[in-house]
Structure 1
Amino acid sequence: MMTIALQGAEFFAYHGFYPEEQKLGCRFLVDVEVDFTPKTNFSDDNINNTVDYEKVYNIVCEEMKHPRKLIETVAEAVIDRIVKKYSFVQAIRVAVKKLNPPLLGKIACSSVTINYKPAK
């Protein structure tokens, strides 16, 4: 099994439960890990035999552009799109972190992590 990963992809987006969050926006970090067994060995040096992390990054970019109330919804949408694009994945982990969330105290980030494994 192999894992491709994106760590700390940073975005400015408009996700949040409160209307002010959806109006003002804030910074987010997204981590994605995708486990899979390669279609073939890599001696042919063909990107079609792996999960292309550039395409995964583009999926995350597109989903971050759609304002949602819950970061859980964002993470789930990313997973759904990766599964649709790469049916051979064995596991996916997506973490979405909201930097400096609007709480009463100083908090570095709030986050959600969703783990996906296909049903057998």
Structure 2
Amino acid sequence: MIIALHGAEFFAFHGFYPEEQKLGNWFVVDIDVEFTPTANISDDDLNNSVNYEQLYDIACEEMKLTKKLIETVAQAIIDEIKNQYTFVDRIQVRVKKMNPLVGAKTKYSSVTVQYPANAINA
């Protein structure tokens, strides 16, 4: 089973350059979490699943902690998901930086981090 949260938007201050950390930017986060249910999903019990509202909260908290690299942000989100949901098999987090400072008009840059490595092909 895969629970996904896509298109979560955050204004944050991640960036390698000091001006990025001062001015901030918009980021979009996509999360996919795969697991094998250990109980009957027909029981309609959220405790038998991954709560996508909690995935949003995890991303929100990590986005508040300024980092130089969006790779580091994505890994921190994965680490916290693993901490809160020890039963997950695979996690993929994509962080997009909108309008990055690259000297040209660019819609976004992105990084995708997976647990375990190369786990989900999305």
| TM-score grouping bracket, smaller chain normalisation | over 0.9
Query: Structure 2: how far apart are the matches of 1:93 and 1:49?
Result: 20
Q: Which runs of 5+ in 1 are unaligned?
A: none
What TM-score does the superposition give when structure 2 sets the normalisation length? 0.93
Query: Which amino acid in the other structure matches residue 30 of structure 2?
Result: D
What is residue 120 of structure 2 aligned with on the other side? Answer: none
Query: Structure 2: how far apart are the matches of 1:27 and 1:3?
Result: 26
Q: CA deviation at 1:41?
A: 1.0
Provide the secondary structure at the position in 1 that maps to 2:103.
Answer: coil
Q: CA deviation at 1:117?
A: 2.0
What is residue 116 of structure 1 aligned with on the other side? Answer: 115
* Total equivalences in the alignment: 117
What TM-score does the superposition give when structure 1 sets the normalisation length? 0.95
What is residue 46 of structure 2 aligned with on the other side? Answer: 47
What is residue 17 of structure 2 aligned with on the other side? Answer: 18
Q: Does 1:106 align with 2:105?
A: yes
Query: Which amino acid in the other structure matches residue 100 of structure 1?
Result: N
What is residue 68 of structure 2 aligned with on the other side? Answer: 69
Query: Structure 1: how far apart are the matches of 2:110 and 2:59?
Result: 16
Query: Which amino acid in the other structure matches residue 70 of structure 2?
Result: I
Q: Which runs of 5+ in 2 are unaligned?
A: 118-122
Q: What RMSD over aligned residues (CA atoms) do the two structures have, in Å?
A: 1.0
Query: Structure 2: how far apart are the matches of 1:6 and 1:38?
Result: 18
Query: Which amino acid in the other structure matches residue 82 of structure 1?
Result: I
Q: CA deviation at 1:45?
A: 1.1
Query: Which amino acid in the other structure matches residue 92 of structure 1?
Result: I
After the TM superposition, list the runs of 4 or more consecutive aligned residues in structure 1 that deviate by more than 2 angstroms: none
Identity, in percent, stands at 61
